[in-house]
Amino acid sequence: MFNCEGCFCYDILPIFGSGSEHLVKKTTLGFYLLGYCIIFIYGLLYCSAVEPQSGLPSPSPRDPLLSPDSHMDVQGYKWVRWRVWLCRLFAVLSLGLLPIVFHWRPRLAVLARCSSCPLALADILLIRDSFGQQHVVEVLTEEMEEGSSEVLGTLEDTEWRDTVQLYKEEKTLLRYYLFEGLRYVWLDRKGAFCRVSVLNEDWTCMDLYGFQKGLSHLEQSLRRRVYGPNLIDVPVKPYIRLLFEEVLNPFYVFQVFSIVLWMIDKYYYYSSCIFIISLLSISISLYEIRKQSVTLRNMARLVTNVTVRRNMGEEECVSSVELVPGDCIIIPQEGMLLPCDAAVLAGECLVNESMLTGESVPVLKTPLPAGEGRYSSETERRHTLFCGTQLIQAKGGRPGGGGAVAVVTSTGFFTAKGNLVSSILYPQPTNFRFYQDSVKFLFILAFVALIGTIYSFVVLLRSNVTWMELVMRSLDVVTIAVPPALPAAITTGTIYAQRRLKSQGVFCISPPRINICGKISLFCFDKTGTLTEEGLDVSGVVEGGPTGFSVLVPDPRHLLPGPMLSGLACCHTVTLLQGEPLGDPLELKMLESTGWTLWEPEGDGRVLDAEFGGHKVLAVMRPPTAGRTSTSESVAIVQRFPFSSALQRMSVVTVGRGGRSALAFIKGSPEMVASLCREDTVPAQFSSKLRNFSSEGLRVLALGYKPLDEKTDLKTIEREAVEKDMQFLGFLMMKNLVKPQSAKVINILRQAQLRSVMVTGDNILTAVNVAKSCGMVGSDEKVIFVNATPHTAQSMPSLRFSLGDGGTQNSIEVITQGLYQGGFGYHLAINGKSFAALCDHFPEYLPKVLMRATVFARMAPDQKTQLVKELQKLNYRVGMCGDGANDCGALRAADVGVSLSEAEASVASPFTSKTGNISCVPLLIREGRCSLVTSFSLFRYMALYSLIQFSAVLILYTVKTDLGDLQFLFCDIVLVTLLAIVMGRGGPSTELHHCRPPASLLALPVLGSLFIHTCTNILGQLAALFITTSQDWYVPLNSTLSGAANLPNMEDTSVFALSGFQYIMMAVVVTKGYPHKKPLYHNVIFLCLLLILFALMTWLVLYPTPIIAKYLQLYEISDMDYKLLLVALAALNFLICFVVEVLIDMGILNCLRLMRQKRSSKKQYKRLNVILSDCPTWPPLNQTLSPAEHTVIGFS
């Protein structure tokens, strides 16, 4: 399990999305100034979004679950010697400026030094990934050993020869590059660099068994050259390189420029303070970056000793770093921490996969079935051991009965653990409007700074100042207009939200997604273990056959000896650990209900093998010694085919004593089991009986069996041969109670107008019953079942909507009852097969079904992921809550994924909750809304602070003066920084409101309020200046001096006093409370600080002591009436701004929108909802539709 508390993404916040992992220090010193770094970095990135030259596609290094269709554009470049020397010359002539620019923009360095060329000849590659981000990588070469071509050429995969024979006439070279931890090798026949994993992606299960004899030393050495070391190596840069990169950061380059400018302008105190803060910030930054890099590397890096089998039959102990795909490894009986992905070939392994899935229940891994089908770790999960998982025990695969044998399938970053570590190091960029608008808004402020620079230049030029002072004053305006702490300040709300979530048992490894929680519009929930209790109780058993079903038997112990009882006792993957049964909770309950006892072989198991006819015994099931079942005999399990979510079933093969009575048992979803049974054995009442049980909310499983021929080789029998022509046995019903918190949470979400959707692998009727129990489907709402069938040899694709609860009502009667009125008068329910057919054959209906569907049943894990992505295409912000086992893909694909796990943090999803129920969902949404509102408030505050100081400086420039050194320091540090830090401490509202907070900073209310407040503040400063100049005792400035040399003076003192009040007032005005945050008075520290700072400013205006006035360069004015007038003016300024803000919150600016034509929403789901609400004939009930007979409801 990853303990992500110390890693990059846990306590350190990315600023503008998960794709930018720049660190923000949570210290006062670093907090204020580190924002410069982000401003300029992202400004450069935003400005230089130039379309690159198209190149040859290469497979993407991203997680295929998140972006299966993604690709990279790769362009090749070759060094041009004269260009390289010319760049070196210009680097000297520019005094090092050109290398700095190249450091900021590596693409420019490539274009300046290299020329475009074919990829086969490239020295440098310019890569544009699927998210539009550009990267520069160097092509590496490695000389292969003599004879490598011949050895590798003997392998079936001819791609190896393409890899190593590019320059065969000279020497054997391997050309490759490393990108985000993954190795890409040059394949001449493909004409592209491809992931090295492509060399083994076509391996079949039979191919893997071919590696059971082991690789030779030469083969292993050559493969290690090609695949690279088996390491998940997180780069840890040395302090010197970190210092170099930090100092050359655009922020610090700008900072050095600013400090030099201030020192020349004699702002010694201010520039010295900024220099010290910058120095401390760099030191803290270097320490934190390296510390967290080391922490993550220690968690990701796994080096251990592994026993490997060689082709000569010997076994040797090697370092796990040397493992390559194809190596045959020996797993000890006591288990181990696995350093690679491997397929089990012999024996069984009990594995704890909580690090990957968050699921704490150990999983039994069985040998891979030998076949010609292509091996895939996803489809063969129950036969695959994943890197980083803990093997608890291994048995049955070695002489003596201990240990297991497996073959390595993936190494390094190509493993499951490597994939997850990569998702932490190189996360998918967060496409969130707030972060995008943040960058755009900085350019608005930069434009304001340009206007101010021009104005100050003109004003100062007319004042006959020196050219040096003219340039310095004009440039100084730039450092004021764009607030350096802006990006850092807006993350404080996220920091506080993350801490509050952690204190309530919700852990986050992707902090930018906290703000995204505030915009969630739809939440998907898994059923079992999420909405319902994890533990199940057996409700009863009904046996079935050609003549029908028997009566319900509440206790399986009362069943007569026979196949049904044996099937319940044997068809499972329960195993023993230190004498205690361990396995899936459902199977544990099922086994417990029979009263049978599980025994496992001891030692080499030869005694048990002999007792059961010489078959390799995996486990023995023994009946109770007393009671009606005493006539039953012990049964040995000799073959297991574990449960698969995709197959919806599992099966076992058993034998009696002496090897007699070989039977195959199958257990799984009723529909799947029935499809694998002979039709003559399935009762005619199958569907009605299943519907009755499922409608009661019971989880229903079906069982089947068949006798096996005595000549059948039970050791090599394949799953397909076992799971066909079965005889139907009956149903097992399990009670799956809804958690008491589920209905309450669903009701909260419903009242907040947030859609709730159930996505489960269970039966559709059971899912509908649970949906009604927890309130997803109201008691007065109808359920319409969507049944879509794919194209077959006998029939065309079809789509049908039928009403639940009998489905006999005709469409006209339903319409007259108002089914289609009021938006959600009905809910659609669809199963996985129909969902697949709908996607393939009726894509025009898919958006409409998604808009109204509430229950998705019998969904495979990949279908859950597909559903999340389809909902996102409708512009929903999708949340997903599951137990982390079969929901990993959906949890990671969703905008907000919440895994219910006892672990503190799991890489299975961005959020992990220890509560074990969905009560964390409203909490997460409330915290997200609070964080988003806080970020808005802080953004507006920092922008207003900048504009207040900007206007004050320009006003003072006009009258030939300026703010003093310590005046700047007092405003920036004492007033603004302290207020910005504590402003975000306010917690979320206790209720979830039906409206969501806005996410756009460029919306009319935001820009309108900033404009009005800025104008009001400027008028307030001008009023203070004019009031001062109109006094009888006013003394004009010395016209022969300018700037700080004119201090102290009356003009500066009046403008400084009012602007100081404005910094405090704006903090109150922009701080929002209801409906998403608690009122301001709940933030006690912020409230106390406001009062203290207001008292401090009032004291500075009314009764400044001579020593304070001297240091702050304030003019001593004795007129108390004038001072009170300044305080009153500040109060009037506050009152006007506060009233304006209240009116804007009430929607006063919306009247401007009435002047333009009403536009439809940009979100597709909102537009489609309007169309469906106005369409009384959809869905067409009890009509069979085909792809050629549809009426499309479209929208533009």
Residues belonging to the active site: 526
What's the CA gap between 784 and 826, in Å, rounded?
7
Q: Is the dihedral of CA 323, 324, 329, 334 positive or negative?
A: positive
Amino acid of residue 811: S
684/686 Cα distance (integer angstroms):
5
Of 883, 121, 716, 275, which is closest to residue 898 (Cα–Cα)?
883
β-sheet bridge partners, residue 318: 306
What does DSSP say about strands 575-577 and 580-582: parallel, antiparallel, or unpaired?
A: antiparallel
The single-letter code of the amino acid at 700 is V
Q: Give me the residue label for tokens 């190509």.
A: 414
**806 in Cβ contact with 813 (< 8 Å):** no
**Closest to 35 (Cα-Cα) out of 239, 249, 245:** 249
Q: Where are the alpha helices (DSSP H) in 562-718?
A: 563-570, 585-594, 606-611, 670-675, 686-695
CB contact burial 481-496 (16+ within 10 A = b; e otherwise): bbbbbbbbbbbbbbbb
d(C-alpha 816, C-alpha 343), whole Å: 60
For residue 22, give the DSSP letter. Answer: -
256-265: long-range pairs with CB below 8 Å, 24+: 258/479, 261/472, 261/475, 261/476, 261/479, 262/476, 264/468, 264/472, 265/472, 265/473, 265/476, 265/1043, 265/1044
Check residue 387 and report its DSSP letter. T
> CB neighbours (10 Å) of residue 1099?
12
Among 895, 66, 49, 907, CA closest to 425:
907
User: Are 865 and 854 within 8 A, CB to CB?
Assistant: no
**Residue recorded with tokens 């990949």:** 862
Phi, psi of 78 (to 5 degrees): -125, 145
Partners of 328 in beta bridges: 309, 407
Find, among 687, 851, 697, 866, the residue nearest to 771 by Cα. 697
Q: What is the DSSP string of 972-1040?
A: IIIIIIHHHHHHTT--B-SS--SSPPP--TTSHHHHHHHHHHHHHHHHHHHHHHHHHHTSTT-----TT
How far separated are the first and last CA of the chain, in Å rounded? 47
User: Please, which residues bridge with residue 879 across strands?
Assistant: 523, 896
